[in-house]
Amino acid sequence: MSQGFLPRRPAPTPRHTGAATRSTDETSTVTVGLEDSLWSIAAEYAGPDASDWEIARIWPHWFTANRQLIGDDPARLRPGTVLTVPPAIR
């Protein structure tokens, strides 16, 4: 009789063990590029090991911290806008 598929538990990554993904000496601003969205900016800032769930939790902090620059619609980012990195994720 076949045992079938038995998944292995993945090893935890540094991201999932609470390790910082960025050094504290990095800039506190990000300039919006032509193809950027709050999701893509949050994903880049969070690092390559960030899950979709983590990015979904982070991008609203970007919106809240920069709402005066962005306006009421988080999908309307203008290239060249200089966003402040939210204090909650520094």
What is the four-CA torsion angle of 22, 25, 30, 35, rounded to 10 degrees?
A: -40
Q: Summarize pLDDT for 17-56 with one digit per residue, the tens.
A: 554 444 334 579 999 999 999 999 999 989 999 999 999 9
The span from the CA of 2 to the CA of 24, in Å, is 52
Distance in angstroms (rounded) separating the CA atoms of residues 88 and 69: 18
Phi, psi of 68, deg, nearest 5: -65, -35
pLDDT in the model for residue 72: 96
Rounded Cα distance between 89 and 8, Å, is 31
How confident is the model at residue 39, as a pLDDT?
96
Classify residue 74 as exposed, middle or buried by CB count within 10 Å of its CB (0-12, 13-18, 19+).
middle
What are the φ/ψ torsions at residue 69 (nearest 5 degrees)? -85, -35
For the entire predicted model, the pTM comes to 0.69
pLDDT on residue 23: 39
